[in-house]
Amino acid sequence: MKIDYAGDLAKLRQAKPLVHHITNYVVMNISANITLSLGASPVMAHARPEVEDMVSLAQVLYINIGTLSDAWIESMLAAGKMANKKNVPVLLDPVGAGATKYRTETAKRILKEVKVTVLKGNAGEMQSLAGEKVLVKGVDSTTSAGPGTAAALAQEYGLTAVITGREDFISNGSQSATVKNGTDLFSRITGAGCMLGSVIASFMAVNSDPFAASVEGLVSFEIAGEKAAARTKLPGSFMTALIDEIAQLNEEAYRLADVTVR
């Protein structure tokens, strides 16, 4: 499998696809900024009366359950169903699944009622959705999960599953990949996983293969993280450097890609 990172990034920067986010309050600003820095166009809209209109204008829908409420769940479901009707791909980030029943059940409800294209989470979140026994601490994972969990989720729900961690595992049920890029500094800032979601979603808008788009998003975000970590080890400065480095991704940077596809 040949992935054209730089070619698809160029397409993305040319097309500036509209990425409709229904995401959590904590990361709204940095998610918008990472999306802009990459070259796509973010929009945040969560009100029930407008989510169907907004997703109809968008090239991709990114649902993130990081700060939930009942009203937002209705909007997530309505937006997801309209996205399905309009063939707009959907990325779901089940933040905190496994930590509270409310989050686990909401993630499962979305997976049941909406055709999700890519499901991305950390080990604890993904294991809890796969029905494995897990220990989740807040929204951070304390367990690890391997390619088996990704493949199981991919097959159960008919989607591309992305499990993030020191090594990331991607599976669409038939193909699988491992990405070894990244930096420990991602765990020193809030919202790294959420920003990664924005980056994968942006690639989903220009690459119709969600498996390849997931690898592209992971590699892009994690190489930018590596480059930022080479500039600073301090979390405040790292956050700024990360947004800067996303803007500077280019063909040469992608030589750092550490991906194994099976």
Sites of contact with a second copy (CB under 8 A): 18, 20, 24-30, 32-33, 36-37, 41-47, 49-50, 53-54, 57-58, 66-71, 96, 99-103, 137-140, 187-191, 234-237, 239-244, 247-248
Query: Could you tell me the two tokens for 2?
Result: 């040949």
Nearer to a second copy, 138 or 146 (CB): 138
List, in sequence order, every residue forming a beta bridge with 90; answer none if it has no partner. 61
The number of angstroms, rounded, from the C-alpha of 127 to the middle of its chain's C-alpha atoms is: 17
Nearer to a second copy, 24 or 149 (CB): 24
CB of 3 to a second copy, least distance (A): 26
How many whole angstroms separate alpha carbon 40 and alpha carbon 151? 29
Nearer to a second copy, 6 or 44 (CB): 44
CB of 164 to a second copy, least distance (A): 17
Neighbours of 249 (CB within 10 A): 23
Nearer to a second copy, 65 or 177 (CB): 65
CB of 133 to a second copy, least distance (A): 16
CB of 167 to a second copy, least distance (A): 22
How many whole angstroms separate alpha carbon 40 and alpha carbon 202? 6
In the chain, which ranges are continuous DSSP H helix? 5-15, 28-38, 51-57, 70-85, 101-113, 123-129, 147-157, 192-204, 210-231, 235-247
